């Protein structure tokens, strides 16, 4: 079989510098919202591992109770069931809070980007507005530019969240 390889795009250091600038824009637009969103993301990445660990303890307590045929081990099941409920409810609350913070941060980044573009547009000479090519670039920046920094930040956050989940899950599997 002929295997065709998909050519990977060439990434230059100049392009990587845009990533840092995008993160800086997101951070400067709202430090508290950015910090909150990243912390919520880290907490949400740890929840599945915590859920699995409590489930393991719960199953161990139930199987131990059946093996001993006593009700003393079943008393440890109730707190574990409550812990599982708390974990599930906190996961739902964090998911809702994350969506809300993401929406608020998206609005802040959009406003901040429009402010930057407005300042830049006001600083240029009026003859640039007579140039159709410049005006097209300005309009494209207005329509697309406000979303790009937040999208990049969210993708990085997603990759880091997945990495945290992978590392914690691997650690738990290695321990048990």
Q: What is 53-92 written as a DSSP string?
A: HHHHHHHHHHHHHHHHT-STGGGGHHHHHHHHHHHHHHHH
Task: Give me the chain's average pLDDT, please.
Answer: 82
pTM of the model: 0.71
Task: Inform me whether the pLDDT recorded for 173 exceeds 90.
Answer: no
Query: Domain limits of the chain?
Result: 30-175
Query: Measured over all CA atoms, what is the biggest interatomic distance in the chain, rounded to whole angstroms?
Result: 88
The model's pLDDT over 50-104, given as tens digits with 9 standing for 90+, comes to 998 999 888 888 888 777 776 666 677 889 999 999 999 999 999 999 999 989 9
**Residues 146, 110: contact at Cβ < 8 Å?**
yes
Tokens standing for residue 145:
């530019």
Residue with more model confidence, 158 or 137: 158
């Amino acid at each position: 079989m002929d295997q065709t390889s998909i050519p990977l795009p060439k990434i230059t250091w100049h392009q990587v510098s845009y990533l840092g600038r995008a993160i800086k824009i997101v951070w400067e637009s709202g430090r508290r919202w950015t910090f909150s969103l990243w912390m919520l993301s880290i907490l949400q990445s740890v929840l599945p591992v915590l859920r699995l660990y409590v489930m393991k303890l719960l199953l161990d307590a139930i199987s131990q109770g059946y093996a001993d045929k006593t009700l003393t081990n079943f008393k440890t099941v109730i707190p574990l069931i409550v812990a599982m409920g708390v974990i599930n409810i906190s996961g739902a609350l964090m998911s809702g809070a994350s969506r809300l913070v993401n929406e608020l941060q998206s609005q802040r980044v959009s406003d901040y980007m429009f402010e930057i573009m407005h300042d830049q547009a006001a600083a240029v000479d009026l003859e640039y507005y007579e140039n159709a090519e410049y005006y097209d670039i300005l309009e494209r920046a207005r329509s697309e530019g406000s979303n790009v920094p937040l999208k990049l930040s969210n993708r990085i956050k997603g990759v880091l969240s997945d990495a945290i989940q992978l590392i914690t899950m691997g650690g738990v599997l290695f321990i048990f």
